[in-house]
A and B are shown apart, each in its own frame.
Chain A
């Protein structure tokens, strides 16, 4: 590699990191109660039991860090899925993974209300695997095509969402909590949620980083990848496991937040090319950036009330999805 080819990634990394740091600081400082930056700094360096510092330490900080973690997880999950399926529309949402995890989580909240988030994660994994498996098996039989996958994903998601709605309607005592959660929300993320999320996200991200070379080669086609000494099936399986860990744990904590897994990998690939050793870390970075800022924006939709962040990501992501379609690459396939 020439020296100049390092400059762009380094600049991008610096840009991403400073955006993320600024976003996290803003996210801690702004909201229903605005807190001065100096106070934020004090809360970290010089803890005192004031009201502002309490808000920062127990509410804002875990929320900001949780958002970053979830954004990173979802973006990397999307990148892995797009690599494995060679389908530009693949993402946790289109693939029914969010809907599957939601159904199982809502089901277990309704049926076993005593379960805590750490236990819910396992249910979310099962649901994610269920939704993703269904869409994959129907969307890829008889040859893959982006359109077919999108249609299969939509149908499976509609079905799973109908079942989820049924559960909510039939057990109406917890409607409000469940509804807010179902729209994809990070406002309630606490330290215990971050602790729940952290090991799974890190594990998923590590696996993703570990198989990033294989992901690049998968993009060349199974035969080529095989010829280059890749164990294609193993790489696929590991990618699947990583996706379920990343998306499942995110949904368990914050509900189904859409479109990050679709949008970020596209943007990142445009910036750094299709080498997944670069795509995966940058997807994580910019996924975190996007969700932190989306969360910040969601506080101002109907200020001073909180709105689910999933609404913001959908409002940003759906037009991007349209743009992808109309670029015309997909329509010809």
Chain B
């Protein structure tokens, strides 16, 4: 127990430290001391503006999006019972991406608040399609994974059509698609916040049911858990969370895959523990990725999604190798 407190404490500390450092780095460097001063409203005025208007909302968003995607990944891996499931591999991110791109390109003047709903509609469409296609096969993990790949391909064809057809504005959409926190402000934070604040605790309430589902459908049924209904509720909670995150940060892949895995390795399969832990890990990873992306090629920015993919894809391949070797 004490070890776990230490683990959580250390992670929160790491997130705090990375937040301060990440706020300070970028095209304009600001020392950690100045960051702290500015965050509490004092210090040099030119830094005050950069920090409060540009850097802080990004840091807050990294924390929210990272936590959201990591938890969505944990839930999907739990209900599909496939350690390789994640919102991006099974095509949900692409679905959310398509409708969001449609809104960005066709209705560029629409308020930021509509984007999550658009993304949610697309994410739900992809999820529903996936659900319908794999329902008849008893939602077998393999069928779900492969169907997800095909659905992802279909939606990305749609995305390609949109970006090519409206090529003049495609760069905005493209930057957003690559998964980036560039140019995000407090209005994005406010858009995302209710979703995360509402859905994370709701999912956490289902932690013990997720544990039961892990034992297999028959056992879970025997223990009195309505398997199909629980799975469906959790599935759509995860989709909602993913869509909300995608709508503000674009499609950041692999985060929902990597964070849950590290969490499981650290605290085991008990979801009441590994859900919050993977949330923290997701936040930390995205904070670091965003910070690194900002300083890698100054004055240009590398989208955080690309940094995460470069770290995440090899990890996924390593997992794939291990997973199939152990049978």
**Which A residues are within 8 Å of any B CB, using their own CB?**
89, 138-139, 141-143, 145, 147-148, 150-152, 154-156, 158-159, 162-163, 165-166, 168-170, 172, 175-176, 179-180, 182-183, 258-259, 301-302, 305, 307-308, 310-311, 314-315, 317-319, 321-322, 325-326, 328, 330-331
Contacts and interface: CB of A to CB of B under 8 A. Distances in A.
A331 B157 contact: no
A78 B62 CA distance: 41
Nearest to B85: A151
A180 B161 CA distance: 9
A165 B313 contact: no
Interface in B122-157: 133, 136-137, 140, 142-143, 145-147, 149-154, 156-157
B309 A331 contact: no
Given A151-B89, A158-B309, A325-B147, A169 B160 contact: no
Contact of B84 (A151, A179, A182, A319): A151
26 contacts: A138-B320, A142-B321, A147-B146, A151-B149, A155-B89, A155-B320, A156-B317, A158-B254, A158-B309, A159-B310, A162-B253, A162-B310, A165-B177, A166-B306, A168-B174, A175-B170, A183-B163, A307-B161, A308-B161, A310-B157, A314-B156, A315-B154, A318-B150, A319-B154, A322-B147, A331-B146
Given A158-B254, A165-B174, A165-B306, A315 B142 contact: no
A145 B253 CA distance: 24
B218 to A, nearest CB: 19
Interface of B: 84, 88-89, 133, 136-137, 140, 142-143, 145-147, 149-154, 156-158, 160-161, 163-165, 167, 170-171, 174-175, 177-178, 253-254, 297, 300, 302-303, 305-306, 309-310, 313-314, 316-317, 320-321, 324-325
A182 B160 contact: yes
Contacts of B89: 151, 154-155, 158
Contacts of B324: 141-143, 145, 148
The 10 tightest CB contacts between A and B, nearest first, are: A159-B313, A314-B157, A162-B309, A318-B154, A183-B160, A321-B150, A166-B306, A142-B325, A155-B316, A165-B178
Given A142-B325, A175-B170, A305 B317 contact: no
Nearest to A184: B160
Given A151-B320, A156-B313, A326 B160 contact: no
B146 A169 contact: no
Nearest to A147: B142
Nearest to B302: A166
Contacts of B316: 155
A147 B80 CA distance: 15
B157 A315 contact: yes
Given A159-B313, A179-B170, A331 B140 contact: yes
A87 to B, nearest CB: 12
Contacts of A318: 150-151, 153-154, 157
Given A162-B306, A314-B153, 13 more contacts: A138-B317, A141-B325, A150-B149, A154-B152, A183-B157, A183-B164, A301-B161, A318-B153, A321-B149, A322-B150, A325-B143, A325-B150, A330-B146
Contacts of B153: 258-259, 314, 317-318, 321
Contacts of B149: 150-151, 154, 321
Contacts of A259: 153
A151, A159, A315: residue with the most chain B Cβ atoms closer than 10 Å? A151
A319 B161 CA distance: 18
Nearest to A328: B137
A259 B324 CA distance: 26
B166 to A, nearest CB: 10
B137 A331 contact: yes
